[in-house]
Structures are given as C-alpha cells and as structure tokens.
Chain A
C-alpha cells in the first residue's frame, strides 16, 4: 500500500513517515502543496495524509484540484485547525476523514487502514480469503487459524492482493503501489516475493493470469 504524506513540519513529517513505514506502507512524503498536488495528480496512491497549512499551495486547494481532476484516492486531513466549521469545509472539499493535531499514531494508522479498506468496499478490518485471514489492525496473517510468518515485503504484497480478492492485479500496479517513488523498482523482485508467498500459502492461492498479472483466488 502506497501512502502520500503531506506535512510541512520536518520533525512531524519524519515521525509520521516512520510510523507509516513501520505499519508496512510505502511512503512518499512532501513538504509543500505544489509538490503534493503534482505527485497526487500523477502517481497512484492508496491513501493520502494531508496537512492543511502548507507552503506554496494550501491543503484544501490541493484537495479540490485533485477532486476536480477526477483523483479519487481516499484523503485524511491532518491539521491543528480542528473546529467543526473547518472539518465541514474539509469534508466538503472532498476529504474522506479528518484528524486533529495533536493525535495518537495508533489512531492515525487505524483511520488510514479504514480509509484504504473502505475505498475497496470492505467493511471489516479482518480480511478473509478462503482459509487465509489477514487482520489489518494487528498485521497478523493466519491460515486455518494458525499464524503464518511473513516478512514485511511478503505481507505488503499479500495485503494488497487481499484488498482486491478475485481481481487481476498487474505487476506494474504492484510495483507502483508497493514501493515509494524513490525506491529502485525492479519488477523481478515482485516475482521473487510472489514465489516466496506461494510457498507459504496453499497451492493455487495466487494464480498467474498470463500476460496480465496475478489474482488471489477467492476460494481455493
């Protein structure tokens, strides 16, 4: 899952980046509205954490421009301006959720998880696919109730697929969503991780659709 983090305060940005990365997200972070607008308009993100008071272009304007351009990724506004008046203005501008500073990292992560899940039309934080269960809150994966031990890359890959059960996901899409922009992307590494995942999960769980990509079988 790839998240765009827009925050102009360097210390807070570093803390947020670390918190999101620890939770298994690929994070792109920028410190001003201009860069944020450019990145959000051109790169695929699964969620955006957006501060409102930004240099160059303020957060609400960035958000409005994205929505006008048809960008639909879920956006969480994170700001010190926390009156209900401002919350209404934020939601009206196209935000999906609003979190006031100061905040607890756990709450931010819970809200980002919920945003991503809901964007895929999933209500429960517990994702189930046949015998495989993935708890987005704890980051634990179980197979028939038994815990499965996954590296962080394997977990990210499986989580991305489990958010889209039954649909074909291309290698390019996986690369775009699992790595931040500055990461050295090599689609072969995706194949390596798919191979490792297949060895840890029941056979036929991850199908290869020739020439198109991979699909998580709904029920093996």
Chain B
C-alpha cells in the first residue's frame, strides 16, 4: 500500500505506533499467561498424583491374603481420619478380577455405600495406572490403581485402587489462575500506559515542529525556532536554510525590482519632460528624436545590467551545479563565427581537457565567456585565441581561461576604466559597454576573478579565473 492511501487513522504516526505496541503486548502477555497457567496446573497435578501413589503404596503394604486366598486389609493402621469419614474425598477399594460382582470386595469406610467404577484395563503386574473418573456425589476423582496377586501363578489378580477428590487441586489451580489473570491485566495496563507515554514523548518534537511550521506559515516567525532531537535537527537546519535563502532571494528581488524601476523611470521622466517641451515648440522634432534615442539607450543599458545581475544572483548557491568547459567554448566559438561572420576572423582554440568543468550554471558560463569572446571579436583584426588550464589555488582548484585578441589592446592605465559599469572606450563599435563589467560581476559572484593584460600579439588578453568542478 502506498503511504497515505489508506484511511485517515492509519496515516497517524501515533496510531501506528500504539497499535503495533498493543498487538505485540497482547500477544506476549497471552503467551506468558497460557504458559504459566499450564505449568502450574501440571505441577499441581503431578504433586497430587505423587501423593496418591504414596497412599497406594501404603494400602498395598497393608494387603494380606487369608488361607482361602481372599484379600484382607488391616484398617487400624490407616490413621488418616479421611479414610473412615464418609464421602471425605479420600478412598481405597480392592476389586477382584474384572466382573462387576467382584467390584468393591474390600473398600474404605469413607466410600460408605458407593463403589469406585474403573474401566477394564489390561495391566501389567505391579505397574501404577492413573485414571480420572466420577466418585460419590458425582465428584471428580483422580484414581490410581495397581494389580497384585499372591506369589503362586494360578492365584486371582486383585486391583488395588486409591482415589482422591480433584476439587482441592482444581480449586488451587483456579485460585492461581485468577491471581495470574489479575496480575497480567495489571501488567498490560502498565505497559500500555508506558507505550502511550513513550509515543507521546517520542512524538513531542513533531508536534513542536508542527507548531513552529504553523508559526512560519502564519507569519509569526521567519524560521523554525527551537532545538530538536538529533534525528530531526538536520531536516530543520535544511528547512531553515531554504527559508533563509528564500527570504534573501525575495529581498534581493525587491531591491532589483526597485533599482530597475528607478533606472527606467529616470529616462521616462526625461522623455516625458522633453515631450512636454516639444509640444510647445513645433520645430524641436529632430532634437526630441535624438533625446528619445539617447534615453532609450540609457534605459536599455540599465535593463541589461539588472537582468544580467539578477540572472547571476539567481544562480548563486545552487549546489552541485557543474558544466563542462569544452562544449561551452565550442558552442560559443561557433556562435561567434556566425555573429561576426564577414570579418574574416580566425578562431584558435587550444585543445581543452574534456574533464575540465565550471562549478556553476551553464547560463552564467556562457554569459561570462560570451561577453569576453564577443569583446575580443569586436576588436580583433584577424585572430582570437582561447586557451584553458586547471590551476590549484588556496581556494581550491580553479579554471584559468585566457582569451587573446590581436586588436589595438588597452593601455595599462585605462584598463580599470573599462571595467566600470557602462564604460565604452570607443563609441564607434556597437555594444552596450557593459560586457566586461558584467563579466567581472558574474565572476566575482562565483568567487572568480577577471584580469586584463597585454596579449603577445599586442592586443588585449583577458584572464578569467573561475571555480572548477
């Protein structure tokens, strides 16, 4: 059965624990009760039988035969008063042969007018047999018998029987059983109480968690508060981490949206002001057009910037992200060849180890390398070179990607200015002027680094260091 598909009560953890415990307890106690009662009954019966066998021995010892071969028992030596009190519950009897006429040839005074009725039994000489049967007043008896005869082989066998009322023994067993039942019931009650307490104590953290979640849900708390057991705490920590991250992302998104709105509103305000002015002066159309163009450009650059930043920010903290470097570079070079087709550029890429991978999102790697390569393509006169190697730094293993162009290059003192947001050193080459600034932003978000150097061909060398996966 799939979890959660059963009726509602089977989905309760408390119900499941309690039901399982109760079933196990009932089984164990029933088993123990049955075993104890059986053992005690066996013991009582065995002892009862042993006592009876001893009395049979006593009666057998008193048995004598007269000259005619008739048995005789001297009852004066049987001092136990129960032998003589009528229906006392303790009896003896001597039967001759098997016929009914010979039954009760001799019998104890306690039997009074009754005889003990024994089934016919083929008995080896001297062995003791145990029977159960009914005596006077229909009392249940345990009977032990032994067959004896005189020494000569032709003599008649006689059955000596001693019987006692089972009532006493059964009363003892019943007393024991009722005490046993009561104590086992008490034990079951105690154990059930313990199980309920255990489940309540064990599941208490879950109820606390429920309350903490409800508090988060209703906005009374930002995260799951409280210390939970070691088994649950990792889950809580993870959940809190997700909540923190969520809050962080929301806060960042709000800031981004605010920044973006501000960045777009300023050009809008400039344009609306200009439109109002132009309405008054009919001849200002050309001026208005260039102003609108300029402001659209400004707004566009801001939108680009914020989009790139939010893309990079969104990717932050995604664990386990990994993207192979070689296919990314190949795809970008193919794209550059198309986009910058007609300029006759040659793309030279040193073979990249297929095991090299960037520890981050594919989108960001494409954005970082795409902007650097695009920049190189815009300035190169004939050739763009790409090389990648793995380096080990204090902060772990890194990818070192070097992109060279053979264009005019940038003077050492002006390199810092290129990185500034929106900077463009040459307005004649199309572009928003954000390329390298975005690259630097993205790279530093990943804990990477961007450096500008001189290429051996005299052009610009861009050295990227990014975390390796």
B332 interface residue per 8 A CB criterion: yes
Interface string of B252-274 (1 = CB under 8 A from A): 00000000000000000000000
Please give me the residue from chain A that is nearest to B362 by CB atom. A85
B311 interface residue per 8 A CB criterion: yes
A118 interface residue per 8 A CB criterion: yes
Question: In the complex, which residues of chain A have a beta carbon less than 8 angstroms from the beta carbon of B414?
Answer: none
Docked complex Cα distance between A88 and B332 (Å): 6
Interface string of A81-118 (1 = CB under 8 A from B): 01111011011100111100010000100000010001
Interface size on A, residues (CB 8 A): 18
B366-A84 in contact (CB<8A): yes
Chain B contact residues: over half helix, strand or loop, or mixed? helix
B341-A91 in contact (CB<8A): no
B367-A85 in contact (CB<8A): yes
A123 interface residue per 8 A CB criterion: yes
Please give me the residue from chain A that is nearest to B304 by CB atom. A82
Chain A contact residues: over half helix, strand or loop, or mixed? helix
Interface string of A67-90 (1 = CB under 8 A from B): 000000000000000111101101
Q: Nearest 10 A-B pairs (CB), nearest first?
A: A84-B370, A85-B366, A91-B335, A84-B366, A88-B331, A85-B363, A88-B335, A91-B338, A114-B342, A84-B367
B-side residues, CB < 8 A to A, are 296, 300, 304, 308, 311, 331-332, 334-335, 338-339, 341-342, 344, 362-363, 366-367, 369-371, 374, 430
Within 8 A of B (CB), among A166-188: none
Q: Known: A98-B339, A118-B342. Is A83-B311 also a contact (CB below 8 A)? A: yes
B342-A83 in contact (CB<8A): no
Please give me the residue from chain A that is nearest to B370 by CB atom. A84
Question: In the complex, which residues of chain A have a beta carbon less than 8 angstroms from the beta carbon of B374?
Answer: 84
A84-B300 in contact (CB<8A): no
Looking at A82, A84, A92, A118, the one whose CB has the most chain B CB atoms below 10 A away is: A84
Docked complex Cα distance between A98 and B430 (Å): 14
Question: In the complex, which residues of chain A have a beta carbon less than 8 angstroms from the beta carbon of B335?
Answer: 84, 87-88, 90-92, 98
Closest beta carbon of chain B to A119's beta carbon, Å: 11
B338-A98 in contact (CB<8A): yes
14 contacts between A and B (CB under 8 A): A83-B370, A84-B369, A84-B371, A85-B362, A85-B363, A87-B370, A88-B366, A91-B334, A92-B331, A92-B335, A96-B338, A96-B341, A97-B339, A102-B300
Please give me the residue from chain B that is nearest to A92 by CB atom. B331
Please give me the residue from chain A that is nearest to B365 by CB atom. A85
Question: In the complex, which residues of chain A have a beta carbon less than 8 angstroms from the beta carbon of B308?
Answer: 83
Extra contacts, 15 of them, besides A97-B338, A97-B341, A102-B296 (Cβ < 8 A), are A82-B304, A84-B366, A85-B362, A85-B366, A87-B339, A87-B370, A91-B338, A91-B339, A92-B331, A97-B339, A98-B335, A98-B339, A102-B300, A118-B342, A123-B344
Please give me the residue from chain A that is nearest to B333 by CB atom. A88
Please give me the residue from chain B that is nearest to A124 by CB atom. B342
B339-A83 in contact (CB<8A): no
Please give me the residue from chain A that is nearest to B335 by CB atom. A91
Docked complex Cα distance between A83 and B332 (Å): 12
Question: In the complex, which residues of chain B have a beta carbon less than 8 angstroms from the beta carbon of A85?
Answer: 362-363, 366-367, 370
Q: Known: A84-B370, A85-B366. Is A114-B334 also a contact (CB below 8 A)? A: no
Q: Known: A97-B338, A118-B342. Is A84-B332 also a contact (CB below 8 A)? A: yes
